């Protein structure tokens, strides 16, 4: 399936924790759950392959050794589908069909509590409906349906159902949800279709956006656009869309080889104006035609009409076999209204898909895994453009995989 192929693209083969559950049953640990007091959560991989969760109050300075300061992830990896909220960590174990909560105990990052779910071949997108209510969308390969599960994270009670998104048709045998966004009491779902084999896949030439009322999930209309393909991406892995201060919704389409695998199409930014219920036909920010001159994936809003796009640098990798390990990613500051780009003078970054940009109190924090210059958190002043190094990671750190705020503000 498409996510099996994409697993070859990224850092290492994807494996999640194993749990054994009867349908509808819950498993709980008798130990007291660790309640985080720090401000930030960081997920790092060392050069020896070991992975650690660490928590810190400052990203602006200092040095940290994940192996000494963090909790080892047992078993690893969890970095792709981890969800962080209010000092707690969650993910879905697709192999055993369970929603899992984790904790830090005895210096290790381990499973705490789990509850069975059904029908999730993949996790595509998640949204917080309230402080304690989480909604996850995923494609069920066997049933050829999009499913949702709503979880009350206080007691891990769940409800599940079907989202009426049309199944793959014709030669298409997979579906990917690239964004899910609530706008004025409606749920917008961006998706596309794929044709896949065991060792390759291609994406159809159309972006679809379903508009459904909520909570009934009745289809209202479907928007189509062919200016690019593969809208957004799996939002547990990195950001691909956002709503600005004035209520406009932006998303990036990713036809590069690491997602859409339709490289003749341009990477583009799309817009849905507030209250319009239409993709803006007069707006298309063609990233590939800009100074970037290639494809991009991650897309983070930093405020005041500006965003950051993480882009590939041509000629530095030979193919998917070395895409994740070769430093070849640039960070560009983009002006959404003027449709201009400006490269941030950061070292080239590595790692195909990362949660690596965080905005807080007027400062943009960017993690960079460079080849020869080490792993750092960089601080960007978006008003002046000034960049400086912040928190340094020990030299035996290979990747900073995730940077997140432990508690939403």
Measure the CA angle with vertex 150, ends 302 and 250; round to 5°: 25
**Structure tokens of 248?**
């406009």
Rounded Cα gap, residues 248 and 178, in angstroms: 18
**Stretch 299-317: mean pLDDT, rounded?**
96
Q: What is the pLDDT of residue 223?
A: 98
Q: What is the pLDDT of residue 13?
A: 32
Residue 364 reports pLDDT greater than 60: yes
Q: What is the pLDDT of residue 377?
A: 98
Q: What is the pLDDT of residue 409?
A: 54
Which residues have CB under 8 Å from 318's CB, separation 6+? none
Cα separations (Å) of 165 from 182, 206, 213, 218, 234? Answer: 16, 15, 13, 10, 17
Q: Which tens digits make up the pLDDT trace of 74-115?
A: 987 889 889 999 999 999 988 888 999 999 999 999 999 999
Indicate the SS3 state at residue 192. strand
Provide the residue range defining the domain that includes 48.
2-405
Rounded Cα gap, residues 160 and 328, in angstroms: 41
Q: Which tens digits make up the pLDDT trace of 22-78?
A: 333 444 443 434 444 799 999 999 999 999 999 999 999 999 999 999 999 998 788
Q: Decide the pairing of beta strands 306-312 and 329-335.
A: antiparallel
**Structure tokens of 193?**
């279709």
Count how many domains the chain has: 1
| Single pTM value for the model | 0.92
**Structure tokens of 409?**
């503000």
**Structure tokens of 247?**
């209520």
Residue 357 reports pLDDT greater than 70: yes
How large is the C-alpha radius of gyration of the chain? 20
CATH of the domain at 368: 2.130.10.120
Q: Which residue has the higher pLDDT, 330 or 17?
A: 330
Q: Which residue has the higher pLDDT, 279 or 93?
A: 279
């Amino acid at each position: 399936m498409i996510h099996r192929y994409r697993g070859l693209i990224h850092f290492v083969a994807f494996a999640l924790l194993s749990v054994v559950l009867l349908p509808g049953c819950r498993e709980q640990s008798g130990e007291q759950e660790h309640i985080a007091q720090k401000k930030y959560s960081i997920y790092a991989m060392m050069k020896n392959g070991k992975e650690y969760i660490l928590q810190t109050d400052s990203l602006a300075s200092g040095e940290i050794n994940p192996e000494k300061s963090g909790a080892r992830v047992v078993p690893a990896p969890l970095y792709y589908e981890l969800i962080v909220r209010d000092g707690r960590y969650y993910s879905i174990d697709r192999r055993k069909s369970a929603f899992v909560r984790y904790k830090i105990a005895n210096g290790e990052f381990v499973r705490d509590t789990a509850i069975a779910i059904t029908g999730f071949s993949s996790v595509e997108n998640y949204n917080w409906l309230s402080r304690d209510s989480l909604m996850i969308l995923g494609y069920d390969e066997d049933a050829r349906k999009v499913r949702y599960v709503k979880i009350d994270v206080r007691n891990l009670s769940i409800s599940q159902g079907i989202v009426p998104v049309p199944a793959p048709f014709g030669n298409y045998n997979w579906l990917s949800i690239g964004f899910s966004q609530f706008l004025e009491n409606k749920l917008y779902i961006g998706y596309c279709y794929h044709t896949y084999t065991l060792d390759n896949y291609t994406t159809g030439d159309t972006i679809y956006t379903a508009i459904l009322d909520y909570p009934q999930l009745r289809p209202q209309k479907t928007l189509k656009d062919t200016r690019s393909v593969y809208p957004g991406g799996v939002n547990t892995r990195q950001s691909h869309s956002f709503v600005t201060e004035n209520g406009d919704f932006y998303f990036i389409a990713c036809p590069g080889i690491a997602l859409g695998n339709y490289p003749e199409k341009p990477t583009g930014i799309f817009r849905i104006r507030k209250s319009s219920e239409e993709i803006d036909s007069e707006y298309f920010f063609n990233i590939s035609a800009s100074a970037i001159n290639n494809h991009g994936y991650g897309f983070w809003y930093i405020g005041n009409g500006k965003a950051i796009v993480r882009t590939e640098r041509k000629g530095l990798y030979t193919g998917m076999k070395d895409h994740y390990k070769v430093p070849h990613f640039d960070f560009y500051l983009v002006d959404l209204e003027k449709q201009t780009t400006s490269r941030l003078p950061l070292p080239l970054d590595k790692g195909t898909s990362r949660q690596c940009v965080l905005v807080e109190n007027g400062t943009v924090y960017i993690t960079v895994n460079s080849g020869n210059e080490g792993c750092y958190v960089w601080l960007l002043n978006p008003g002046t453009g000034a960049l400086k190094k912040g928190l340094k990671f020990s030299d035996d750190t290979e990747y900073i995989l995730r940077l997140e705020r432990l508690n939403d503000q």
